[in-house]
Amino acid sequence: MVLFTDDADYFGGHVLEQRPIYTTRANLIYRFDRASASLNVLYFTGGQTAVDGVNRDDRIETWRFGGALTIDVDLHHSVKLYGSRGVTQRPGTNYDILGMSWQYKWGAGL
């Protein structure tokens, strides 16, 4: 959940309010010998705004699906390839993500 506070000086003294955004996420992970793969689903909704008490028609509702592949380089280092895509969205919050990251694990790793 993401919470917001009111902006009492929105564009010259107007009051902007925003309702919370609620999220839920599910991951299905399979661990190989030196790698792991995951499928992910994310849903978020809410965030409707109001200016001076007048509601706007801007509530967010989005489903996203994605996946990741993490490959262990050694005990402390791994490379992660990931991506996700919006499937349904309201309003216009659709975007695609592709990325790669280098991860460092402290301690003995998991």
**For residue range 57-92, what is the model confidence (pLDDT) as tens digits?**
899 999 999 999 999 999 899 999 999 999 888 776
Point out which residues pair with 41 in neighbouring strands: 26, 65
Q: What average pLDDT score do residues 41-53 get?
A: 94
pLDDT per position as a tens digit, 3-33: 889 999 999 899 999 999 999 999 999 999 9
Give the span between the Cα atoms of 25 and 42, in whole angstroms. 4
Query: Which residue's structure tokens are 């030196």?
Result: 34
Is the link from the previous residue into 20 a cis peptide, with omega within 30 of 0? no
The reported pLDDT for the residue numbered 2 is 77
The answer to whether 44 touches 25, Cβ cutoff 8 Å, is no
**What pTM did the predictor assign?**
0.73
Contacts of 6 (CB under 8 A, 6+ apart): 15, 16, 17
* Cβ atoms within 10 Å of 64's Cβ, excluding its own: 21
